[in-house]
Amino acid sequence: MLPKNRRINKQYFAEILPKSAFLGSKNFSLRVSPIKTSHSSNKSQFAFVVSGKMFKKAVDRNIIKRRFRYLIAKNLKNIKDGYYFIFIGGKTVLAVKYKDLEQEVLFLLEKRNFLQNV
């Protein structure tokens, strides 16, 4: 599970989203913004958003968020500090297998230099 100090508080969404960079993928979107030191520590923080309009069942929304949370928790030591990451699930994310989703997320993070050289 993702530690509580690594999660973005909802009250900061309004500040983070307009200033964030958009990174698109086939199955999800990623918004990234540098952390302001007044809000929290310099450790990267994460949020996972899945629309109720796209996925009517709470079970489906929870599965998607659980996959993202586990994926990030598993690779947390490889992700650079100092950023807010907001993952937004797309229409096709539920149909994608976990391994494919993991490869897609890591590829996008690596492509934009958000992964540390390990």
Which is it for strands 28-34 and 45-49: parallel, antiparallel or unpaired?
Answer: unpaired
Taking only the tens of pLDDT, the chain with its 118 residues reads 788 889 988 888 888 888 899 999 899 999 999 987 665 578 899 999 999 999 999 999 999 999 999 999 999 999 999 999 999 999 999 999 999 999 999 999 999 999 987 5
> Hey, CA dihedral for 18, 24, 27, 30, is it positive or negative?
negative
pTM of the entire predicted model: 0.90
Per-residue pLDDT at 86: 94
In the chain, what are the domain boundaries? Answer: 4-111
Q: Which residues pair with 87 in a beta bridge?
A: 30, 48
Distance CA 89, CA 91 (A): 7
Q: At which residue do the structure tokens 């929304």 appear?
A: 61
Per-residue pLDDT at 3: 85
**Please, what CATH class does the domain formed by 4-111 belong to?**
alpha beta
